Amino acid sequence: MTESVAEAVSAYSSGLLCLKLRQPEEALKHFDYSLTLSPNIPKVLYQRAFTHNLLGNVKQAISDCNDAVTLDASDPWCYIHRALIFAETNRPNDVIEDCTRAIALNPTLAIAYSERASALCDLQEYTSAISDLSKAIDLDPKDPVNFICRAVAYDELEQYDKTIEDFTEALRLNAKDATVYFSRALAYHKTGQHEKAIADYNQTLELQPQCEEAVRNRGLAMDQIDMKEKLETLAPDAKKRAGNGSARVYDLFTKVEIGTD
């Protein structure tokens, strides 16, 4: 290794350290210097692209990724970094294309499946997204984000039992996520499991006391329980009639739209 190459590698390492310390401006200086000394290293280019993206320099970020791909089209991370930038600029088809290329080169990268799944969700292709997220979970079962994303996709398909299962798994991995408690509460609410919904709304408010939606929806769930009890008191034989198929209780309050704004 020549002295200039060694210095370029050192500058690259310093840039990575600055990224870990959340100092993108300093990281960019180190990556610039590294590429001045040795301009043909793909990983430096796509790390500089990542840094440019953090700083809002989207055109420079894409340009660096394109250069990295030109230098080494066999490195899946060139495509993944470019896909991440495309995702932030609302280009889901480009994300899918680059992630698919990355997967073809290395089918064990969970991030490629999860990013492609996010793009598929943007295109409302939820079944395909679920397939990708399932693969990402198989590869990285300790990442709660993949369970959350799959839960959302199941929710869009109105497969609420699976939605609840995935939110529950996400909470097992991170029990301090108020948003997930609230989201699971909504799923319980939609399926008429009002007591469980209330418990999750309460947990949401413990973690995020200012969540007005949780307060409002908890009140709705309580009203629904109260109305159901009143209906059962007024029509004690309704359940019996429903059991033989001759009649059924229709709870209007299960049709109340749950506010999430």
Q: pLDDT tens for residues 106-163?
A: 999 999 999 999 999 999 999 999 999 999 999 999 999 999 999 999 999 999 999 9
Whether 123 is covered by a domain: the verdict is no
Is the model's pLDDT at 243 over the cut of 70?
A: no
| 76-88 and 110-122 helices, crossing angle to 10° | 30
* 251 vs 253: CA distance, rounded Å: 5
* 89 vs 239: CA distance, rounded Å: 54
Whether 23 is covered by a domain: the verdict is yes
Cβ-based burial of 240 (10 A; exposed 0-12, middle 13-18, buried ≥19): exposed
**pTM attached to this predicted model:** 0.82
Is the model's pLDDT at 249 over the cut of 50?
A: no
* 211 vs 223: CA distance, rounded Å: 19
Find out whether 32 and 64 touch, Cβ atoms under 8 Å.
no
* 146 vs 153: CA distance, rounded Å: 11
Overall number of domains in the chain: 2
pLDDT tens digits, 186-202: 999 999 999 999 999 99
Q: What is the pLDDT of residue 248?
A: 35
Q: What is the pLDDT of residue 230?
A: 78
* 204 vs 136: CA distance, rounded Å: 27
- Residue 27 sits in a domain whose CATH number is 1.25.40.10
Whether 101 is covered by a domain: the verdict is no
The token duo for 199 is: 């418990």
- Which domain covers residue 24, as residue numbers? 18-72
Is the model's pLDDT at 56 over the cut of 60?
A: yes
Is the model's pLDDT at 97 over the cut of 80?
A: yes
- Residue 187 sits in a domain whose CATH number is 1.25.40
Half-sphere exposure of 252 (CA within 13 A, CB side): 3
